[in-house]
Amino acid sequence: MIDITMGSNVSLYQQIYEQLKNKIISGELEEGTRLTSTRALAKNLCVARNTVESSYAQLCVEGYVSSKPGSGYYVMNVADDSLFTDLAPPMEKSSEKVRAVARVESAEYTHDFQFYNLEHASFPFALWRRLSAEALASFDARKICFYNDKQGEPDLRAEITKYVRDSRGVRCTPDQVVLCCGTQHALDVICTLFHDGNRKVAVEEPGYDGAKIIFKKNDFEILSIPVGPEGIDLDELERTSTQLTYITPSHQFPTGVVMPIHKRVQLLQWATKRDGIIIEDDYDSEFRYHTRPIPSLHSTDTNGRVIYKGTFSKSLSPGLRMSYIILPEWLLPKYHTIFAGYNATISWFQQKIISLYMERGHWERHIRKVCLHNKKKHDTLIKAIHEQLGDRVRIHGNNAGLHFLLEFVQGEKQEWLIEKAREHKVRVYPTLPYWHRKERCRENFILMGFSMLSEKEIVEGIALLKKAWFEQQ
């Protein structure tokens, strides 16, 4: 039984999603139960059918239900419900337009399917200028001459606290936030905190190479755990003696896999039992295009086992060099002891600008705009691939983020694919760097992103790739 309130602040989609999720968590809807069909529920509630479909799709991508084609949606096993906390409502999208896109020239490539740098047309230059002037004229400006709080400015930490609560369901206080100059610095801080442990860390295989470098730098032994269709293999994790694991549960890098809710619950149980810590790298969670964002692992954690890591690099600008971690409360005394003699790492000026930017609501609007813009590019790219490359390729990990994997069904190898593309001045990327044990890498995959190309360039680029890969002998 679902009750909906018309004209409420909470969207119909949201009401249906929340009530069904709560029924599943509470056990009212048991494992294996078939949900009312979308058509029937829409009729009962007098709402549009695609509203119900959106709610079901979201439950599906988060692992609460599974869809059997031609049969319907069934409730999944979500295990220990005591771990659940209320989730904040995900952010809504707007239909604001994004400015036209410019492109950076590169001698070697005309079309670069990269996934890390952003289009500069998306950056709010004029606003940044205004806020810079305002920051320098503020009373606070005297702090530009001080060694400031090593955790970051309190105002900015308060803004981040609000943002992660509203968008990612992360509940914390500003005291738990530590600002860092990039993901690598964030991981370095975490390594320093666990310097006294057994210095082993489980990482995803394949996984983000930039993270492994930092663990190695800190003399951590790296245990690579295979990633399957539901994220890292928890049985293999169980067999290791590590207490620390580093994962990207909401959009695994680079495979794009989402860890479903029953696996998340198991992972949290592992951490509780093992007195372990899970580093959740939520690097591009803002960008999910055909369902709502997936709540963070942190939002499901009631035992303080998760260190959440967010970044401004994917949604605003990597050139700002700014990320943040959210430490569990019990870890704060240790943090303050170990970091007592440390200085801040981020310029006061930049912190102040971003703080004003968030405080005034620009950040939220920016995310909506950029998400919509990225969705268009994403959909254009997927469509172009289907039309041009057809069933010679399979797409893995799409509908989210700024990249996905392309599998070549006839077994073409990444080295050849990259070289052929290069001959046509198109750049695509290998997956090999993300494998710790290189021999495990499946070579008929490449990595493609769309963070720097316009829709027009995307279509052109795929046409060139078709030529490069399938039309020359």
State the residues that interact with its own copies by CB under 8 A: 102, 104, 116-120, 122-123, 125, 128-129, 132-133, 136-137, 141-148, 181-185, 188, 192, 195, 209-210, 213, 217, 219, 313, 317-322, 341-350
Q: Is the peptide bond before 124 cis (omega within 30 degrees of 0)?
A: no
| Residue nearer to its own copies on the CB measure, 110 or 117 | 117
Tell me whether residue 229 or residue 319 sits nearer to its own copies (CB atom).
Answer: 319
216 or 365: whose CB is closer to its own copies? 216
Give the count of beta carbons closer than 10 Å to the beta carbon of residue 75.
21
Q: H/E element holding 224? A: strand 221-228
- CB 208, min distance to its own copies, A: 10
Of the two residues 143 and 274, which places its CB atom closer to its own copies in the complex? 143
Q: Is residue 167 a contact partner of residue 294, using CB atoms and an 8 Å limit? A: no
What gap in Å lies between CA 437 and CA 439, rounded to an integer?
Answer: 6
The residue among 117 and 272 lying less far from its own copies, judged by its C-beta, is 117
184: left (phi over 0), alpha (psi -120 to 50) or beta: alpha
Q: Whole-number minimum distance, CB 206 to its own copies, in Å?
A: 15
As measured in angstroms, the least distance from the Cβ of 144 to its own copies is 4
Going across the sheet that includes 277-281, the strands are 177-180, 323-326, 306-311, 277-281, 244-247, 200-205, 221-228, 231-232
Nearer to its own copies, 135 or 448 (CB): 135
The residue among 388 and 451 lying less far from its own copies, judged by its C-beta, is: 451
Residue where the block lists tokens 């989210």? 400
Pick 40 or 133: Cβ nearer its own copies: 133
Rg (CA), the chain: 23
Sign for the CA dihedral angle at 235, 236, 242, 243 comes to negative
As given in the structure block, the two tokens for residue 32 are 């294996």
Burial of 278-307, coded b for 16+ CB within 10 Å and e otherwise, reads: bbbbbbbbbbbbebbbbbbbbbbbeebbbb
Q: Which CB, 2 or 121, lies closer to its own copies?
A: 121
- Write down the least CB distance from residue 176 to its own copies, Å: 22
Kindly state the smallest distance separating residue 87's Cβ from its own copies, in Å: 31
Task: Classify the C-alpha dihedral 148-151-154-160 as positive or negative.
Answer: positive
User: With respect to its own copies, which residue has the nearer C-beta, 120 or 467?
Assistant: 120
Least distance CB 178 / its own copies (angstroms): 14
- What does the alpha-carbon distance between residue 368 and residue 364 come to, in Å, rounded to a whole number? 6
In whole angstroms, the minimum distance from the beta carbon of 332 to its own copies comes to 19
Least separation in angstroms between CB 35 and its own copies: 43
Contact 184, 210 (CB under 8 A): yes
Q: What does 290-304 look like in DSSP terms, one character per residue?
A: SSPPPPPSGGG-SSS
Q: Minimum distance from CB of 51 to its own copies (Å)?
A: 36
Task: Return the structure tokens found at 161.
Answer: 């606290």
Q: How far is the CB of 335 from its own copies (least distance, A)?
A: 14
Q: How far is the CB of 368 from its own copies (least distance, A)?
A: 18
Q: CA-CA distance, 219 to 188, in Å (whole number)? A: 11
CA distances from 160 to 138, 191, 351, 409 (A): 21, 23, 11, 43
CA-closest candidate to residue 183, choices 7, 385, 318, 361: 318
Q: Which is nearer to its own copies, 115 or 404 (CB)?
A: 115
End-to-end CA distance of the chain: 61
CB of 120 to its own copies, least distance (A): 4
Q: How far is CA 273 from the centre of its chain?
A: 26
Q: Each residue of 408-417: b (16+ CB within 10 Å) or e?
A: beeebebeeb
- State which residue, 342 or 416, has the beta carbon closest to its own copies: 342
